[in-house]
Amino acid sequence: MSLLSDAAEKIRSINRRYAVPRIKLTRGTKIILVALRLYLLVLVGMLLYVLIATVR
């Protein structure tokens, strides 16, 4: 239990440490990051679709 809570605390501290991006996010960079999120969403969606279709 202590090991798990230690790990959770470690992850929280990493999240805090890197909470603010340290580069200037230009408009172009922000658009690229949104496009990447959408790309991943579509890819993961396809994977889930295949998984569900296989299970059925």
Partner 1 sequence: MRLGDRLYYQMRRFRKHLAILGAVIGPGVIVMVADNDAGGFTTYMLSGAYYRYSFIWIVLLLGPVAYVCQEMTVRLGVMTKRGHAQAIFEAFGPFWGWFSLSDLTLTDCLTITTEFIGMTMAMEVFGIPPLFTEVVVISFIMLMLVNGRYWTWEKIVLAICAVNMIVVPVVFFIHPDVNDIFKTGVVPGFPEGLGGPVLFLIMATIGTTIAPWMIFFQQSSVVDKGLKKRDVPYARMDTAFGSAFTVVTAIALIIVATVFFGGDANLQSAGEAAKLLMPLHPYVGIILAIGLFDAGLIGALSVSLASSWAVGEVFGWSHSLNDRLGQAKWFNLFRLSIMVIAGTIVLIPGAPLGTITLFVQVIAVTLLPAALVFLIVLLNQEELVGAYKNTRAQNIMAGTVVGIILTLSTAYGVGTIFPKLFGG
For the segment 4-43, give every residue that binds partner 1 (CB under 8 A).
Answer: 10, 14-15, 18-24, 29, 32-33, 36, 39-40, 43
Look at the alpha carbons of 43, 33, 35, 29 in this order and tell me if their dihedral is positive or negative.
Answer: negative
Q: Binding of partner 1 at residue 56 (CB under 8 A)?
A: no
Look at the alpha carbons of 11, 16, 22, 28 in this order and tell me if their dihedral is positive or negative.
Answer: positive
CA distance 51 to 55: 6
Shortest gap between Cβ of 1 and partner 1 (angstroms)?
19
Which residues here bind partner 1, judged by CB under 8 A?
A: 10, 14-15, 18-24, 29, 32-33, 36, 39-40, 43-44, 46-47, 50
